[in-house]
């Protein structure tokens, strides 16, 4: 697994996904990048014939808050290892009525509400500035392949939706979510950006697999408060289906 072109697919695991079950022939690699160290060692291995790389976005013990993640190092490290297709797995809150807890969504758009995060590799004087096209933030081919894989595996997924990226780590107010809904957001999460934009700058094929952990603030039809225990239970149920989808995904 040391040659650079060896990775078929990289996965960045979010809250609730700190190791990828079912990977064989495991190897942990500390990768240093020009942008610093990634959130954790990168674990490479094989899953149903695919050579995979896995990275825990918040660190293996969930110690890195969304606004403190070194998104550049994470993506640069995966790129450095030879990954060209990257799936970001993100815990989210559901805003749209068909995106309740445990739903799995493949968003096709995003709105960025984050602030103060380092959001570009274009950061050094004297180096060319890239204005990448970001009209479609997720790679259509990879999204389509994920959708087909989920269907083949019998895992229901919602095709499309707008991901609103918030700063966190606190959850949102009901008014913030009401505004996001008016803006057209269907989901809310804290880590979708700048990850997607940085992936585009590197020319990676990138898609987001969003796992709904809770109703976003003020969206629960039963109007209950968001409980952390429930979030974890919902997330665990959705996370258990991720390897099933990935196993059904063809090699590139």
Between 33 and 109, whose beta carbon lies closer to ligand HPA? 109
30: tokens are 């500390």
Q: At CA 145, angle to CA 234 and CA 181, rounded to 5? A: 50
Q: Tell me: does residue 114 bind ligand HPA (CB under 6 A).
A: no
Contact 103, 93 (CB under 8 A): no
Q: Tell me, what DSSP letter sits at residue 66?
A: G
Q: Tell me: does residue 158 bind ligand HPA (CB under 6 A).
A: no
Q: Tell me: does residue 162 bind ligand HPA (CB under 6 A).
A: no
Q: Which residue is nearest to ligand HPA (CB)?
A: 93
| 35 backbone dihedrals φ, ψ, rounded to 5° | -100, 5
Could you tell me which stretch among 57-65, 126-134, 166-174, 199-207 binds ligand HPA (CB under 6 A)? 166-174
Between 131 and 170, whose beta carbon lies closer to ligand HPA? 170
Radius of gyration of the chain (CA): 17
Q: Binder to ligand HPA among 39, 44, 74, 166 (CB under 6 A)?
A: 166
User: What three-state secondary structure class fits 181?
Assistant: helix
Q: Tell me: does residue 214 bind ligand HPA (CB under 6 A).
A: yes
d(CA 164, CA 181): 9
Between 47 and 217, whose beta carbon lies closer to ligand HPA? 217
Q: Contact residues for ligand HPA (CB under 6 A)?
A: 91-93, 166, 171-172, 188-190, 213-214, 216
């Amino acid at each position: 697994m040391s040659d650079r072109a060896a990775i078929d697919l990289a996965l960045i695991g979010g809250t609730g996904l700190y190791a990828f079950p079912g990977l064989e022939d495991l190897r942990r690699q500390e990768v240093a990048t020009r942008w610093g160290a990634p959130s954790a060692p990168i674990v490479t291995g094989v899953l149903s014939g695919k050579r995979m790389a896995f990275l825990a976005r918040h660190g293996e013990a969930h110690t890195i808050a969304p606004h403190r993640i070194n998104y550049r190092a994470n993506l640069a490290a995966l790129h450095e290892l030879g990954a060209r297709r990257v799936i970001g797995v993100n815990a989210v809150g559901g805003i749209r009525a068909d995106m309740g807890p445990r739903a799995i969504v493949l968003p096709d758009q995003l709105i960025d509400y984050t602030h103060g995060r380092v959001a570009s590799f274009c950061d050094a004087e004297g180096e060319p500035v890239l204005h990448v096209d970001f009209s479609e933030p997720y790679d259509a081919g990879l999204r389509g392949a994920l959708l087909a894989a989920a269907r083949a595996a019998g895992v229901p997924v919602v095709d499309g939706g707008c991901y609103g990226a918030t700063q966190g780590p606190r959850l949102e107010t009901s008014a913030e979510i009401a505004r996001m809904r008016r803006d057209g957001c269907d989901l809310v999460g804290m880590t979708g950006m700048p990850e997607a934009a940085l992936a585009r700058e590197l020319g990676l094929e990138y898609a987001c697999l969003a796992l709904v952990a809770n109703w976003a603030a003020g969206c629960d039809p039963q109007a209950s408060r968001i409980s952390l225990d429930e979030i974890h239970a919902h997330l665990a149920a959705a996370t258990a289906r991720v390897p099933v989808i990935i196993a059904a995904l063809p090699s590139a």
